Amino acid sequence: VAAESSTGTWTTVWTDGLTSLDRYKGRCYDIEPVAGEENQYIAYVAYPLDLFEEGSVTNMFTSIVGNVFGFKALRALRLEDLRIPPAYTKTFQGPPHGIQVERDKLNKYGRPLLGCTIKPKLGLSAKNYGRAVYEC
């Protein structure tokens, strides 16, 4: 999981020689069995901050959860926790107009503002997309 979500690949590619892959490798630093569950484990993975583009939530999440969830060697995978070092969080600028303007536009106060990916991405009617977004 650590390799697949960072610099690993299932085959050797010519671009491997263009950089020091070791510098960018995700590292599994602990594995614990899930109590009461056979063949299930919690893997603790750390990534070097140099792997991610500063100020890009999209880049960070795509790197961590993008490709690895299609990794056929795993029957199931779930992200349980994500901890972002303060040094990296300081690179995020936040909403361009400030959180209060965003809350005013949405008329949402006193709770987190969250987003989600609607599935399926194609094929729903406008009414059903609206319904899915509302439920998100």
Question: How many structural domains are present in the chain?
Answer: 1
pLDDT of the chain, 136 residues: tens digit per residue = 777 777 666 666 666 666 666 777 888 899 999 999 998 889 898 988 888 899 998 888 888 887 777 777 777 788 889 999 999 999 988 777 888 998 999 999 998 888 778 887 778 888 988 888 887 7
CATH number of the domain encompassing residue 89:
3.30.70.150
Write down how long the chain is.
Answer: 136
Rounded to two decimals, the pTM is 0.59
Preceding peptide of 85 cis, ω within 30°: no
Half-sphere exposure of 55 (CA within 13 A, CB side): 5
CA distance 28 to 7: 13
